Amino acid sequence: MSSFLGKEAGKYLSRSAAGTYFIVGGASIMNETIASALSNEEAKDILTKFVQTNTVNPPGNEKALALWIADEFKKAGIEAEVRDMGEGRANVVARIKGSGERKALLFDGHLDTVPPGNWTEDPWGAVVKDRKLYGLGASDMKGGLAAMMHVVKAIKKSGAALKGDLVFAASIDEETDSLGAWDLLKSGGLDGVGAIVIGEPNYNEITICEKGALWLKVTTHGQTSHGAMPEKGVNAVIHMNKFLDKLLQYQFQYTESPILGKPTMNIATLHGGFKTNVVPDRCELTVDIRTVPGQVHKDIIADFQRMCDEVKAEIPEFKADIEVLSDRAAVETKASDDFVRLCRDVQQDVTGRNPEPNGFMCYTDAAVFLPNTHIPLIVYGPGEQHMAHQPDEYICLDRLYESVRFYAELAEKYLID
């Protein structure tokens, strides 16, 4: 529960769950020196460089872009570190030091993209048409990252005195295993951070929660025999069918999320056998479960094991194992958190909009950060969410420029006012 601690110029000084102090409420008066340092053209130029640098994952090859980012920050007088992770991959972290009166604000995003599909545009061309910049990763999420980088440089250029550090982090591998986010966490990159903004694409709206992902593989094991003598074998496909009967009746234990709704389960793949005239000795099933906050993944895994045990009680020769392919918890920052309230104030100031915060049905690196730090976090990015992982991906430049103003005013209110 937040507590108000005092008043300043008609605004309230408030403390978030992470112990960070900042101003909430009041009119939008961006520091003139910061405002004058902002440049739509520079933000677009940074995005163009980002898009023109191939960081398709796999293999990633993010190091070249990380080195360029670090070099640009250093030219601007901002300390920057490239964390080499081998095989052409690297994170980059930059920081403007504050006085230490407040905790740091982290602007975060990922450098990698998915592979291109059937494009008609050049995926790395960064061509601008009708105020849209086309390119792989333009929306997911090089647009948000470019806007954040520009704002950090602009604040440094303004000479504004910060009461806490402003940190920029660009990491590898979000599109697969979030190796970069894990490295940032384990290397102490979140130490002293009081709030996080991830620039994933969401049309410049405030996202405060996302579904978790639990991907499981169930494998049944049997014994081969000639297809003309099936009684001499143990049919793994038939045994999988028995397990599926249980699975299709499975009911999640959960509390429905007012934003994310209910958990879902997709039976994604099923593979068994290798030849028509051979009794199959192996069958594999994969399941994609999307959870809501409050669900415990280890309890779901235990339920899968219980269903296997029930089948074995009915069929003694039944053998199965369960493998966890991916495990990312559902996460949320409460809508009542003071950082969320501050972000909504800034959104109102910058855009004139103040809708209720929303949620992601998919996951981001927030699934790494929030469960391990409990630092207040939002997702706010200019990208077109419906264009993520799509051919001819683009970003609307007007949204890019709007996000620049949001990030700049948020940094001002969090670290300066």
Instruction: Classify 3-209+330-415 by CATH class.
Output: alpha beta
One of 3.30.360.10, 3.90.1150.10, 3.30.413.10, 3.30.70.360 is the CATH number of 212-328, namely: 3.30.70.360
From 20-24, 130-134, 335-339, 389-393, the region with the lowest mean pLDDT: 20-24
Which of 376, 413, 306, 395 has its CA nearest to residue 17?
A: 376
Q: What does the alpha-carbon distance between residue 391 and residue 284 come to, in Å, rounded to a whole number?
A: 31
| pLDDT attached to residue 13 | 36
What are the domain boundaries of the chain?
Answer: 3-209+330-415, 212-328
DSSP symbols for 55-96: -BTTT--THHHHHHHHHHHHHTT-EEEEEEEETTEEEEEEEE
Backbone φ/ψ region at 77: left (φ over 0), alpha (ψ -120 to 50), beta: left
Strands of 3-8's sheet in order across? 3-8, 11-15, 21-24
Query: What percent of the residues of the chain are helix, what percent strand, and what percent coil, each to the nearest 5?
Result: 35, 30, 40
| pLDDT attached to residue 30 | 74
Q: What does the alpha-carbon distance between residue 73 and residue 78 come to, in Å, rounded to a whole number?
A: 5
Q: What does the alpha-carbon distance between residue 16 and residue 370 come to, in Å, rounded to a whole number?
A: 15
| pLDDT attached to residue 19 | 41
Q: What does the alpha-carbon distance between residue 148 and residue 408 come to, in Å, rounded to a whole number?
A: 8
Backbone φ/ψ region at 383: left (φ over 0), alpha (ψ -120 to 50), beta: beta
Tokens 């300043």 correspond to what residue? 8
CB atoms within 10 A of CB 230: 13
Can you read off the two tokens belonging to residue 365? 């690196």
Q: What does the alpha-carbon distance between residue 325 and residue 288 come to, in Å, rounded to a whole number?
A: 10
Q: What does the alpha-carbon distance between residue 326 and residue 174 come to, in Å, rounded to a whole number?
A: 13
CB atoms within 10 A of CB 115: 11
Cα–Cα–Cα angle for 152, 40, 134, rounded to 5 degrees: 105
| pLDDT attached to residue 31 | 83
Q: What does the alpha-carbon distance between residue 156 and residue 160 come to, in Å, rounded to a whole number?
A: 7
Q: Is 142 exposed, middle or buried (0-12, 13-18, 19+ CB in 10 A)?
A: buried
Residue 7, pLDDT > 80, answer no
Q: What does the alpha-carbon distance between residue 387 and residue 277 come to, in Å, rounded to a whole number?
A: 46
- Averaged pLDDT of the chain: 93
* DSSP structural state of residue 223: B
Question: For residues 214 and 327, is the Cβ–Cβ distance under 8 A?
Answer: yes
What is the number of residues in the chain? 417
**Can you name the residues that pair with 46 across neighbouring β-strands?**
none
**Can you name the residues that pair with 79 across neighbouring β-strands?**
95
* C-alpha R_g of the chain: 24
| pLDDT attached to residue 377 | 99
| pLDDT attached to residue 393 | 98
Tokens 């879902």 correspond to what residue? 264
Question: For residues 137 and 85, is the Cβ–Cβ distance under 8 A?
Answer: no
Host H or E run for residue 366: helix 366-373
Question: For residues 272 and 280, is the Cβ–Cβ distance under 8 A?
Answer: yes
* pLDDT tier for residue 77 given thresholds of 50, 70 and 90: very high
Residue 381, pLDDT > 80, answer yes
From 1-5, 43-47, 155-159, 387-391, the region with the lowest mean pLDDT: 1-5
pLDDT tens readout for residues 8-33: 323 333 444 444 433 344 444 578 89
Tokens 């001002």 correspond to what residue? 412
Give me the mean pLDDT over the 117-126 stretch.
Answer: 97
Residue with the bigger pLDDT between 3 and 127: it is 127
Which of 173, 34, 66 has its CA nearest to residue 114?
A: 173
Q: What does the alpha-carbon distance between residue 67 and residue 137 come to, in Å, rounded to a whole number?
A: 18
| pLDDT attached to residue 24 | 40
Is 132 in a helix, a strand, or coil?
strand
